[in-house]
Amino acid sequence: MLDLTGKTALVTGIANNRSIAWGIAQQLHAAGADLGVTYLPDAKGKMEKKVKDLVEPLNPSLFLPLNVQNDEQMAETFQAVKAQWGKIDILVHCLAFANRDDLTGDFSATSRQGFQTALDISAYSLVSLANGAKPLMTEGGSIVTLTYLGGVRVVPNYNVMGIAKAALEMNVRYLASEMGAHNIRVNGISAGPIRTLASSAVGGILDMIHHVEEIAPLGRTVTQEEVGKTAAFLCSDLSSGITGQILYVDSGYNIMGM
Ligand code: NAD
């Protein structure tokens, strides 16, 4: 049985009720996990209020601001985790960012700054979060991140985010290799296209979804709930032998040649 009772889980990347991280948080909560939620702070505090209201029914023990480009906030996050829980069992990395201009048009036009931003927020952040969680995963743990097929194949307009996802997927393997000795497992979920705030920045997201509906064996794209259920599985003991893997939750789209 999928049971996360007594487990502590830090979930990043909830922006609204369409966020994949929201689908994951709901499943972890349903399985009995004690949640900590981080949100991306903004000057007016709008995001804080929005995410706080959304996650209230899940009774998170921790609710913290975290911009992954801010090393101080990163350190404060894990200090707060340590003070509240003393240990951490589950870390969900479910965030990404690239400048909108870099998610359409010619890939070769990507600026140095745009490249660095996308790689820093979308890929390096997994390394820094894993590094913060590692000393607190004293009873072993599970780290899960979100990736997309555009990191292994060319998908129109995905551009620099594809490079970031390629780096992210390799991060999963290096981190899994390093942390296996501590019984910390690291895996990625490669989700099919879903309409969210982040994905709407990618040029032609609706065309991508329609294409999947035509081609994928299941004849549809996936939901946040389906990704959430797989994440809960990867965070639980049911997947105790799985690490360093990228699991496709994409209605089977990735197997098709034509
Ligand atoms: P979303 O917009 O709901 O989530 C993206 C999150 O990233 C937001 O919560 C945002 O606040 C956060 N974020 C951005 N910059 C940040 C920073 N500097 N510090 C901290 N947080 C920051 O969109 P989503 O589609 O749910 O995206 C979640 C993850 O799923 C991303 O890694 C995305 O690439 C991946 N993914 C999405 C799809 C899809 O089609 N939606 C498919 C495969 C993978």
The residue count for the chain: 258
For the stretch 80-107, pLDDT in tens is 999 999 999 999 999 999 999 999 999 9
Domain boundary assignment for the chain:
8-253
Catalytic residue among 39, 124, 148, 248: 148
Q: Confirm whether 174 is a catalytic residue.
A: no
Whether the Cβ atoms of residue 201 and residue 103 lie closer than 8 Å to each other: yes
- CATH H-level superfamily of 8-253: NAD(P)-binding Rossmann-like Domain (3.40.50.720)
- With 0-12 CB in 10 A as exposed, 13-18 as middle and 19+ as buried, what is 199? buried
Kind and range of the H or E run holding 92: strand 90-93
Residues 6 or more apart whose Cβ sits within 8 Å of residue 15: 21, 39, 40, 47, 50, 51, 196, 197, 198
The contacts of residue 32 (CB under 8 Å, 6+ apart) are: 3, 4, 5, 6, 7
The pLDDT profile of the chain, 258 residues, written as one tens digit per residue, is 899 999 999 999 999 999 999 999 999 999 999 999 999 999 999 999 999 999 999 999 999 999 999 999 999 999 999 999 999 999 999 999 999 999 999 999 999 999 999 999 999 999 999 999 999 999 999 999 999 999 999 999 999 999 999 999 999 999 999 999 999 999 999 999 999 999 999 888 899 999 999 999 999 999 999 999 999 999 999 999 999 999 999 999 999 999
- Best residue among 196, 250, 251 to mutate for probing ligand 1's pocket (most ligand atoms within 8 Å of CB) is 196
Residue 15 Cβ inside 6 Å of ligand 1? The answer reads yes
Please name the residue that has the structure tokens 């140095």.
112
pLDDT (tens digit, 9 = 90+) per residue, 162-184? 999 999 999 999 999 999 999 99
**What pLDDT sits at residue 161?**
98
The verdict on whether 39 is a catalytic residue reads no
Task: Give Cβ neighbours of residue 229 (< 8 Å, ≥ 6 apart).
Answer: 27
